[in-house]
Every structure is written in structure tokens, then in C-alpha cells.
Structure 1
Amino acid sequence: MPRSGAEARRRLQQAALELYQERGFDQTTAAEIAARAGVNERTFFRHFPDKREVLFDGEADLRAALMQSVAEAPDGLEPFEVLLRAFRKSAKNLQNNRPFSEPRWKIIAKTPALRERELAKHASLTDAVAEALRQRGVGDGPAGLAARTGWAAYQHAVQAWIDDPAQSLDAHLSQAFDDLRALAAPTLPRRAGPEH
């Protein structure tokens, strides 16, 4: 039996991840997760409201960390630079927890109910980041657009990191934001060729 609440929570998360990989999300029950973790079902529900939330634990902490990182970014940075700094900080936690992060993403990708939950969580996080940008003085429309676009670049970087773990998540994140800036940069007019 786990002795602490934190230990029980960690074991429940690990058990859920294993069972979802072995059987699939839809075929796994909260009771089975609890049994694998060595706790009773009541303990499971003390930690998580349902079996989906096992994979989304830490959202409130992530929201607070992103908002704090945006708020603490040095003055004078463009919104994308502020977001890149904030996402880099959260990316460290994701990278340090790769044994959980990678299979989690794969389970979510192949489970419609989890993808739907993830989209709702991402919308909430994007709104929080947009609000943090507004508090820095970024206008309402640009703050929302920057937050949504920045979050998309972050998601793109995480998927690239899962597909290509040879590079760090930070390197993939830098590349995604470089690509984003390149897409937004004005293109130079094509030089006309010599006339004949």
C-alpha cells in the first residue's frame, strides 16, 4: 500500500498508463487502475474525478506556471518571444518526464474521448496565456491570436519531439517558433529577370 497521497497518485498514474497501453483506454476501468496500483477504488476517486483525468493531472499547475512566466518576462519582448520563454520553462518539465509524457501523448492521439478532453484543456490554457499577455499590455485581439498561434507552435514542437527524440524538446520548440516567424515575415518581391 502506498504510504503517502503523492505516492498513491503517482502509482495510479503509472498503473493507468500501463493499462491504457495494454488494453486501451475504453477497455480499462477505474477499479482496474486502482487494483494495479495497489489501492482501492475510493482512493482512485479521491485523487481523480474520472479515468480521463489521470492523463491530465497538473493542468492547474501548468496554467499558473505559464501565466507567471508570461508575467515575469522582461519588458520590451514581442509577444512570441514572451511565449517562447514561457513554453521553454514548461517544456523542461515535459522533457524531464518523458517516460510518462510520450506514451501519454500516443494514448491521447488514438482515443477520441481523450482528444476531445485535451482540446478543451488546451482551449482553457490558451485563454489563460492570452489573459497573461493582455495583462502585459498586449491588445485583446493580438493577445488571443498570439496565444492560439503560440500554443499551436508548442503542440507542433512536442509532436516533433515525440517523432524525433534525437533533438531536445527545446530545439524543436526553437525551430517551431523560427518557422512561425518565417511564415509571418514579409516576403521580398521577386526580382524581374532580364527582358528579351
Structure 2
Amino acid sequence: MTDKCGTLGSVPRSGADARRRLQQAALELYQERGFDRTTSAEIAARAGVNERTFFRHFPDKREVLFDGEADLRAALMQSVAEAPGELPALDALLHAFRRAAQILEDNRAFREPRLRIIAATPTLRERELAKAAMLTDALAEALRQRGVADRLAGLAAATGWATFHHAAQDWIDDPSRSLEKHLLQAFDDLRGLAS
């Protein structure tokens, strides 16, 4: 390829492209070598960038797998806020999860190996639990802002997030159905358990 001056050389890459290549390189290396035996320098080299570029995008090698969590949290909180006012707490959460499902559907190629890597790595499972706790707290706050009592908001958020996580795992295991269909089934199952 030619650069802007028409000479042979590397083409400048956008930050989004570098970030995507770093994520792909990390997934490949984590699957080949395991998370613990992979360094940020190796990820950067596989992605064709230097290690400083890696650290411009990610604070550490764990966060490559948790990229987008803040965006998902914000989208879920906004969707809870925008849910029709008459919906009870769990239905407001289902409304939010259904709207967020498309984000996950669009990233299935990343999500599937990501879950396997996390499941095989204790430090990543611990990190995932911490991220899930932050998401649950955010969902509880969004419900409180809708007027749900504090005690019920926390219970609904924890229950709703566990149900969403269950549906997402079912979707990974059974890709013949959409995440939305798995979500609807999981929430129907939850209602069945509660009745």
C-alpha cells in the first residue's frame, strides 16, 4: 500500500482500528497460550502496534476482555429510564436488556471466545464479578430513579442481571435462537419460578 505521499509504507490506522486489532490479537493469544502466559507486549506485536499503543487503549491486559462495559452500563441505565412508566421493575429491566441485546448480537464473534477465556481464568472470573456488581448497582440506581423502593430496586437489579447473564450464556450455547428470544424465555422462566 502507499502512504499519503504515494510512497510504499505503512498506512496510518485509526484509533478504532488499532483497538479492534488489539482485541482480536488478545483473543487469539489468550486462546492459544492462555491469559496468564500472554503479555501486553505480545498482544501489541500481534496487532502490529507498539506496547505504548496498547496502553493508550487499555489500562491492562484484563480490560481488553471488558471493553465496552461502561457503554453497556450507560445504555442499560438510559433504557431503564426510557421504559414506559407503567412497567414494573423486572419488566423495565427486560425492556432495557432487549434494547441492549443488539449490541451483544453484533459482537458475537468476540463474546463467545471471551466467555470461554473468562471461565478458564480465575482472575478474570473475579474481574467479571466486580464488573457485574457495578452493572447491578447501576441498574438498581436506574430503578430507584423510576421510583422503585431501594430494597426492591436492589433485588430486582440483581435478579434481572442474573437472568440476563443466564440468557446470554444460553444464546452462546444455542445460537440458533436470537439473544432476544433467549431473554424472553429466561424472564418467562423467572416469572414461573416466582409464581
Query: Which TM-score bucket, shorter chain as reference?
Result: over 0.9
Asked if 1:68 corresponds to 2:84, the answer is no
Q: 1:122-161 maps to which residues of 2 (within 5 A)?
A: 122-161=132-171
Match of 1:113 among 123, 127, 130: 123
Give CA deviations for 1:141-190 in whole Å, capped at 9, x if unaligned. Answer: 000000000000001001111111111111111010000011111xxxxx
Greater Cα offset, 1-10 or 83-92: 1-10
Task: Tell me the residue number matched to 1:17.
Answer: 27
* Structure 1: distance between partners of 2:45 and 2:60: 15
**What TM-score does the superposition give when structure 1 sets the normalisation length?**
0.93
What is the Cα deviation at residue 93 of structure 1?
A: 0.8
Match of 1:93 among 94, 99, 103: 103
What is the Cα deviation at residue 45 of structure 1?
A: 0.6
Q: 1:42-81 maps to which residues of 2 (within 5 A)?
A: 42-81=52-91
What is the Cα deviation at residue 115 of structure 1?
A: 0.4
Backbone CA RMSD of aligned residues? 0.8
Which letter does structure 1 place at the counterpart of 2:140? A
**What TM-score does the superposition give when structure 2 sets the normalisation length?**
0.93
* Structure 1: distance between partners of 2:187 and 2:76: 17
* Structure 1: distance between partners of 2:109 and 2:131: 21
* Structure 1: distance between partners of 2:188 and 2:127: 29
Structure 1: stretches of 5+ with no match in the other structure: 186-196
Which letter does structure 2 place at the counterpart of 1:3? R
* Structure 1: distance between partners of 2:157 and 2:193: 16
* Structure 2: distance between partners of 1:3 and 1:159: 34
* Structure 2: distance between partners of 1:177 and 1:84: 8
SS of the counterpart of 2:60?
coil
* Structure 1: distance between partners of 2:99 and 2:60: 28
* Structure 1: distance between partners of 2:136 and 2:125: 16
* Structure 1: distance between partners of 2:174 and 2:119: 17
* Structure 2: distance between partners of 1:92 and 1:174: 14
Give CA deviations for 1:49-100 in whole Å, capped at 9, x if unaligned. Answer: 0000000001111111010000000111011110001011111111111111
Structure 2: stretches of 5+ with no match in the other structure: 1-9
* Structure 1: distance between partners of 2:23 and 2:84: 36
Task: Tell me the residue number matched to 2:7.
Answer: none
Asked if 1:7 corresponds to 2:27, the answer is no
SS of the counterpart of 1:25?
coil
* Structure 2: distance between partners of 1:91 and 1:101: 12
Task: Tell me the residue number matched to 2:6.
Answer: none
